[in-house]
């Protein structure tokens, strides 16, 4: 789990949530879950490649078996950023990678866990980006912008399809978040969104206070 994921998980844990943490590397996520348990929180860690439908189906079955059939909330944070270059000279490999890690994982994860969200009348929160907003795509990052725009469209489709089932879907769209990697790459003279701000927005969207909010993108800047 990255620093943003740790902040979001910690915020939910502080609210008393029972957490199911997922990362591609089981060792890393299990260590993070152990840290939360040592602090008196409820957490389990699972390794899974979210770009593989069969792996996600197996994960959903295991989570249901070990934690019950209801999910109160699902937060999809898998993804990453890379410059793809101007479209005329862009990298096909970067394009495919950005679509896979940002959009395909969001689709497959929501598809696998929507039955449990329906059972729990739960909330689904995706991570979009300002690059997905009108007029914000910019140059040399078309793959990332398209992937995150796809995440927004996926979220809006789920919001419309699942409203009658009691499931809400929204997205947060942060600008640059203060992480060690971002500060190393961009320096300190940047307006960062603090990790705690991101966590507060996500937990709010999953709370009863946001029960009337669905199909929305919340810009964090």
Reported confidence tier of residue 32, pLDDT bands at 50, 70, 90: very high
Predicted TM-score (pTM) of this structure? 0.95
- Evaluate if residue 34 carries a pLDDT over 90: yes
Mean pLDDT (the chain, rounded): 95
107 is an active site residue:
no
Give the model confidence (pLDDT) of 151-200 as tens digits.
Answer: 999 999 999 999 999 999 999 999 888 888 888 888 988 889 999 999 99
Mean pLDDT value across residues 50-63: 98
Give the pLDDT of residue 186: 84
Catalytic pick among 46, 107, 144, 192: 144
**Distance (Å, rounded) from C-alpha 162 to C-alpha 170?**
12
pLDDT at res. 65: 98
The pLDDT tens digits of the residues spanning 111-162 come to 999 999 999 999 999 999 988 988 887 899 999 999 999 999 999 999 999 9
Q: Which domains occur in the chain, in start order? A: 3-220 (3.40.50.720)
């Amino acid at each position: 789990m990255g620093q943003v994921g740790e902040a979001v998980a910690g915020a939910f844990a502080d609210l008393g949530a029972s957490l199911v943490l997922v990362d591609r590397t089981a060792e890393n996520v299990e260590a993070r879950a152990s840290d939360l348990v040592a602090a008196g929180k409820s957490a389990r860690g699972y390794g899974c490649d979210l770009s593989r439908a069969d792996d996600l189906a197996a994960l959903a079955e295991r989570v249901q078996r070990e934690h019950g059939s209801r999910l109160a909330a699902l937060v999809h944070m898998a993804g990453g950023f890379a410059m793809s270059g101007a479209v005329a000279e862009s990298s096909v490999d970067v394009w495919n990678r950005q679509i896979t890690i940002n959009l395909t994982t969001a689709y497959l994860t929501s598809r696998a866990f929507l039955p449990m969200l329906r059972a729990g009348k739960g909330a689904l929160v995706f991570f979009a980006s300002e690059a997905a907003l009108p007029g914000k795509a910019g140059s040399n990052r078309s793959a990332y912008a398209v992937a995150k725009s796809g995440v927004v469209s996926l979220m809006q489709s789920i919001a419309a399809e699942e409203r009658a089932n009691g499931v809400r879907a929204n997205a947060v769209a942060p600008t640059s978040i203060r992480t060690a990697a971002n500060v190393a790459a961009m320096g300190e003279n940047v307006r960062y969104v603090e990790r705690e701000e991101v966590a507060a927005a996500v937990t709010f969207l999953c709370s009863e206070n946001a029960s009337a909010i669905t199909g929305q993108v919340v810009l964090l800047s």
